[in-house]
Every structure is written in structure tokens, then in C-alpha cells.
A and B are shown apart, each in its own frame.
Chain A
Amino acid sequence: MVKILKKELLVPNIHFMILESDFIHLNAKAGEFVVVRADEFGERIPLNLVDWDERSASVVFMEVGTSTRKLGCLKTGETIADLAGPLGKPTEMVSDKKILVIGGCYGIGAIYPVIKAFKNNNNKIITAIEARSSFLLYWQEKLKEYSDEIFEITRDGTKGYAGHIDKFLNDYLSKYSVDMVYAQGCTYLTYLVSQTTKPFGIKTIVGLNPIMIDATGMCGVCRVIINGETKFACVDGPEFDGHTVDWQNLLTRRHIYITEERRSLSFYECEKYG
């Protein structure tokens, strides 16, 4: 059993959780993830590691299906069944570069350790966070600490730049040059970012989030096609060059269990509230 040291609702549907762990800090690096299981019946799900210290590891997650709904219902002081990590390859470090870092949804939390590491490696950081509306943005103050500049983007125009990430990117990259773009968020966001930066010829690293089970390279469900070659996101990634990803295949594979996921959620809701 793993104790929840702190649980906080950041914005609707997006949660922050600090979990007790004596081990994870030993080797944790930016860009890695952990696997959690909410309870004995739970799935193993990968979540980005957003922070850590000698006694804890933190995650930010969005409530989508049963697994994240279960986690979302938990409170400070309660427990989850399992926590394992860190997993995946850490973000490849660079220095003396100007990097545009983009985060959407849970990705706003996921970019936190990455910009921290980039900043500590002497890079210039332009941070851009995007959401449907202003009330879904969070952690601006935390991110500002490691950003040279920060942009807020809302699709409904309630705060900052009005429009979607592709519009912002097109605008920004037409005016300013950057050495690299880095993005974390849903598959659609990372896809859109990769598509938009491609004509500019800017190296674009994206964090992918395919379905996983063991997350140690054993099951192969997380396979993604990179430059025509099959890779396992859990051990070869989860970060890849966005211009080499077979997005169609990734989007299709994300939906393998869509029917089961709906069934699982309605079963869970019935059991809990029915």
C-alpha cells in the first residue's frame, strides 16, 4: 500500500498527487514516468513523474476512464495499491539552446520537471501552456520560476493568446526562431505540434502516451512506429522525435479498448453510486 501524502484538484478533471516513496528519487530524471495501480482490481497505468524527493514522488493526471476516476476519488491520507518507477528514458539533455516547451491538459504538469532540467542545463525556456478555457490553466507560478517567458493559450480566448496550439505555433515561429520544440499532452496535441513545426524544420520532441501494462518492455502493447520501425514506448521512449512518429497508427492503437473502457466506467459508476 502506498500512502497519498497530498491530493489536490488542480482544475476540473486534473489532479495532483504526492505519493510516499523511499526509492523513486534514487534515479529519477525529467521525462520519466511511474506506473500506478489504484486498488486490487485496478489496471496498471503510466503517469508522468512531475516531482520527487527523498520520501515522495508526484504525478499529475487527468480523469478519463475508470483507473483515473478511481485515483481522482482518493483523498490525502488514503492509499493506492502500487507505485513503481521511475520508468522510460529520461529527456535527452541539451544546453545553450532556446527551447519552446508546450504543455496541454496533464502535460502542463508533465513539463514542469523538464523545463526545470532544461533551465538548469543553461537553456533559454519559452513555455506555452494551453487549455480550452482560462479556468483550465494551472501552475503558471511554478512554471514561471524556470521559464524566461510564458504564454497562456486558450481556445475560447478567455486568457492570453486566443486559438489552438497550431495557430499559436505558426504565429510564434513565423516571428521568432527557436532551436527546439518540446511538447507534452494528449496524443492530438503532440500530433498537432509535430505537424505544425515540420514545415519550419524545427526539431520537435514529444512525450507519447500509448497504452501500457508492465511498462518494462515485456508486453509490447505500447509499440509505436518510429521512422517505419517498431519501438516500445515504455523502454525506447516515451519521448520521440515527433516528425518520425506514425501518428495514424498511434491514434488507432490508443483506441483498442474504447468499448471496454466505456463498459468499465459504467460498471464502476454503478457499483459505486448505483
Chain B
Amino acid sequence: MPEKIVPKKTPMREQPPKERIKNFNEVPYGYSPEEAIAEAKRCLQCKKAPCISGCPVEIDIPGFIKFIAEGDFKAAIKKLKEKNVLPAVCGRVCPQETQCEQVCTLAKKFEPVAIGRLERFAADYEAAQGEAPIPELPPPTGKKVAVIGSGPGGLTVAGDLNRFGHSVTIFEALHKPGGVLVYGIPEFRLPKAIVYREVDYLIRCGVKLVLNFIVGKTATIDQLLKEFDAVYIGTGAGLPWFMNIPGENLNGVYSANEYLTRSNLMKAYLFPEYDTPIVRGKRVAVVGGGNVAMDCARTALRLGADEVHIVYRRSKQEMPARAEEIHHAEEEGVIFDWLTLPIKYIGDENGWVKEMECIKMQLGEPDASGRRKPVPIEGSNYISAVDTVICAIGQGPNPLIPQTTPDLKAGKWGNIEVDKATMKTSKPRCWAGGDVVRGGATVILAMGDARIAARSMDEFLRTGIW
């Protein structure tokens, strides 16, 4: 057996870096059917299948891969959709290398099976065949559920509860559905058409969607509970963090949320065809080391920057971004300033940022997060010229609902407190999950929470027992 194993993943063709930094088209092209079959055949179909427990939504990974290996792509997508309502999204944005692929049996000696790429292939193959068929639904239970937020968590809850026969209405504050998938993740990493396709599928399955409805303001949770039997709060991490250092309110200093929302949701990269503008900086500094920072840096390049720096206070080893995102950013020419912390922004006479003062860091003992704590090196300050700064140091839970729902228990950082086994909040008939509970995390973790909540909500709706 072992001599037959192909040690490396089947490569995925991509747009060459020099070309792709001039457009917002998706970077990887995806597998052809032949490539997918070749990659699927690398799967050992091992009995233990550790990949399944590595997946927060427990997809039957060997199951769907086996169908691809056999060329039965329709069966593969059906298998995937048993557990995941957003395979085209997850296949693109999940941190597979720290989840399913990390524990793949093959990964002990070779490269793991490219599970994410195969998931993407199956979903894209189905989409290419035209409208996905609607599954048969059980008779309606007559119970009504409100899902607040149409991000990955909200869509998952909606999909699950709809399949259990409950009537589901999703309330979205923005004018487009998808939450972080449309305002946060750039087109070149996740084409918006894919998100809208998935939302459209849910609507065809009978889920109702209300846009421009800000729960907490347009109607409170208590007002919703008069009409609905249960509520799921999946409002995400919509509170940008700043560092509270001098000069942060200068023109040209953005939060990552603003920068990405302008570019993605409002299509500022197509300005003036679209009305929303964005500053097209020439020397851009992105502060932070997560996926959001990579997205900002790569967006800035595409908007015409000559030089984009990622300024991160630890070293490459501690960076929270996915390896693939760092790799893509490096290929595209993003410059990494490791072990560097901005301490001050300096403005010109018109109130625009023109320079940033940074201090170099060294790594000390591990801190609470287990990562080595960065410590400033005295006297290592230096100043560099910038015309745009994007602060991508993280975000907190959106505060609107905790603020307007007094009996909903929230923690010190505004995160809604839940029972992890059921995702029940302190408020009867209210569940919550994803970033509003965890702070900024990943799409798939929000979907995992949603799955737990959906089961618990279904049980409550059937039994009436809280």
C-alpha cells in the first residue's frame, strides 16, 4: 500500500500573482473533475477517520471523498450537505490545516488529503449543474423561529431548523445577506455570488429573509419573542477594536471592518461606478496578523498600493492567519514587519496620517494564550512613512442586542454568555452562538455553534421544555 501513496496534494491552479494583484477575481481556480478524482484517491478511507472529529460540524469526510473518487459527484455533495449547508464557503475559507487536514492519517508522513479543495470542488460542481434540488421537507411543525444575523451561523441554524420542519425567518441588519461572508471576506477569496447562491437555496427551501432590520433597534428581542417561539442570536463580532494610541483618529486610519466593508459590501473597488469611495493609499500599513489583516493587505494591493506592510508584534510562527493566506500575501509582494508594534500615528497639516512611529519587539515567556509574549526593545523606535493605516487587531461582539436586552447575560467584553452544551443564553427561548459569544473566531466555529443550538432549539420546540 504505502508505495502507492502520492506524497503531495494535487496542486490547485491559481491566477499568477502578477496578474491577480490587478483584479478582484478569485485566486485559486479549483480542481477539474480529473484532479478531484486523483486527489480523492489519495484518501486512505481509514477506519478511524480522525478528520471527522477534526471538523466542527462533523462532516462525513471519507464518505464524501469516496464518492468523488468514484466520480459520483452528485452523491458527494449530497453527503456533504447532510452536515454542512455552506460547503462552497467552507471549502474556501475554513482553516483546514488546523482542523480536518491536521489530523488526517496521511499527514503523519505526507501531505494530508486536500479536504477543503475537495469540498469546494463538490459544491462548485453542483452549482455548475444549475439550481440545486430542494430536499424533501417534513410537515410543518407550526413553530416559528427568528434568526438574527445572516452570517454563517445564522444560515446554518436556519437551514437545520427548516429541515426539522419549523418556520424560520432570518433578520439581517445590512442590505445584503451573508454577514461577514459579504462585508468582510474579499471577492478574491470568496466570490459573493457563491454566498448569494447559498442564501437563495435556503430561500427556495422556504426560509424567509428580512433585510434592513436591525434587531435591538427596529424591534427588540422581547418584541420578537411575542411573535416567535424561539430566537437565535448570531450577530457576530461587529465592534472594531482600536489600540488607543495617539493619532488613531487621523484621516487615513481605518478599522479593518470599515476598509473591508467599503471594498466588499459597498464595492468601493469599482468606484465611481459604485458611489462608495475608499482611500487608495500608496504606502499602506496593516496592523495585525490574522486572516483579516491578510485580507486588508491584499485588498490594498489590488486598490493600487505600491507598498503594503503587515505590521505584527510577534513573529511569523505566532501569526494567527492561515498558512495559505500568508503564503498568498507573500507571493503578491506584501512586506512583513515582524516583531513590530506601532505606538503613534503622525499627521500632516491637513489631518491626514503621514508617518507611523513603531517600536521593535522581542519574544519573552508565553502568556495566557500560550504564545510568547512580545516585549518592547528600549530605544528601538523608528518612523516610517505611510498614507494609509488599517487597524486589524481584532473585533469584539456587536453590542446592540446586549445593550437593548437587559435580562440577557453578557460578559465583561460584551460577549453573550451561553451554556456550551446547548448554546442557551440566560434568557428563556433565546440561543446565541458564533462571534457574539466567542469574540472574533472562524466561520466554521460559528457553524459548529449553530449546529449545537439548532438541535437544542428543535428539542425545545418539540417538547416545550426549556
Contact = CB atoms under 8 A, between A and B. Distances in A.
B261 A84 contact: no
B455 to A, nearest CB: 30
B262 interface: yes
A38 to B, nearest CB: 8
Interface in B346-394: 350-351
A112 B223 CA distance: 27
A54 B357 CA distance: 54
A37 B183 CA distance: 16
A256 B242 CA distance: 19
B106 to A, nearest CB: 41
B175 interface: yes
A218 B257 contact: yes
Contacts of B275: 41-43, 66-67, 70, 264, 268
Interface string B237-278: 011101010001101101101100110001100011111110
A47 B175 CA distance: 16
| Residue of B175, B266, B267 with highest tally of chain A CB at under 10 A | B175
Contacts of A86: 217-218
Contact of B351 (A24, A81, A230, A249): A249
Given A84-B214, A217-B399, A225-B249, A44 B175 contact: yes
Contacts of B350: 252
Instruction: Label chain A's interface by main secondary structure.
Output: mixed
Contacts of B262: 213
A216 B173 contact: yes
A43 B240 contact: no
Given A217-B398, A218-B398, A84 B212 contact: yes
Contacts of A220: 240, 242, 255, 257-258
Interface in A62-100: 66-67, 70, 81-87
Contact of A87 (B183, B217, B219): B217
Given A214-B173, A223-B249, A263 B272 contact: yes
Interface string A206-245: 0000000110111111010100001000010000000000
A83 B214 CA distance: 11
Contacts of A66: 275
A218 B238 contact: yes
| Residue of B218, B257, B261 with highest tally of chain A CB at under 10 A | B218
Contact of A264 (B217, B240, B261, B277): B277
Contacts of B240: 218-220
B321 interface: no
Interface in B284-325: none
Contacts of B201: none
A217 B239 contact: yes
A235 B400 contact: yes
A260 interface: yes
A84 B254 CA distance: 24
A202 B399 CA distance: 32
Contacts of A268: 272, 275
Contacts of B254: 221
B174 interface: yes
A174 to B, nearest CB: 35
Contact of B279 (A37, A213, A256): A256
| Residue of A42, A81, A214, A268 with highest tally of chain B CB at under 10 A | A214
B45 interface: no
Contacts of B174: 84, 214
Contacts of A142: none
Contacts of B399: 217, 235
A213 B176 CA distance: 13
B211 interface: yes
B223 A85 contact: no
A256 B218 contact: no
B53 to A, nearest CB: 34
Given A87-B214, A220-B242, A252 B257 contact: no
Interface in A178-225: 213-214, 216-221, 223, 225
Contacts of B273: 41, 267
A89 B219 CA distance: 14
Nearest to B240: A220
B175 A213 contact: no
B228 interface: no
A127 B239 CA distance: 38
Nearest to B241: A220
B220 interface: yes
A219 B257 contact: yes
B213 interface: yes
Given A23-B218, A264-B277, A84 B239 contact: no
Given A214-B173, A218-B398, A267-B272, A26 B218 contact: yes
Given A220-B240, A230-B248, A235-B400, A27 B218 contact: yes
A26 B214 contact: no
Contact of B219 (A27, A221, A235, A249): A27
Interface string B171-213: 0011100000001000000000000000000000000000111
A223 B248 CA distance: 10
B238 A217 contact: yes
Given A42-B275, A217-B238, A217-B400, A252 B351 contact: yes
Contacts of A155: none
B255 A219 contact: yes
A235 to B, nearest CB: 7
Contacts of A152: none
A261 interface: yes
A27 B220 contact: yes
A216 B266 contact: no
A253 interface: yes
Contacts of A223: 249
A84 B174 CA distance: 8
Nearest to A86: B217
15 contacts: A23-B218, A42-B275, A43-B275, A43-B276, A66-B275, A70-B275, A87-B217, A213-B261, A213-B262, A214-B238, A217-B400, A220-B240, A230-B244, A249-B351, A264-B271
Interface of A: 23-24, 26-27, 37, 41-44, 66-67, 70, 81-87, 213-214, 216-221, 223, 225, 230, 235, 248-249, 252-253, 255-257, 260-261, 263-264, 267-268
Instruction: Rank and list the top 10 A-B pairs by shortest CB-CB distance, nearest first.
Output: A260-B277, A252-B351, A218-B238, A84-B212, A219-B258, A267-B272, A220-B255, A82-B175, A220-B240, A43-B275
Given A84-B174, A214-B238, A220-B255, 19 more contacts: A44-B175, A66-B275, A70-B275, A85-B214, A213-B276, A214-B183, A218-B240, A219-B261, A220-B258, A221-B254, A225-B249, A235-B400, A249-B351, A252-B350, A253-B249, A255-B251, A264-B271, A267-B272, A267-B273
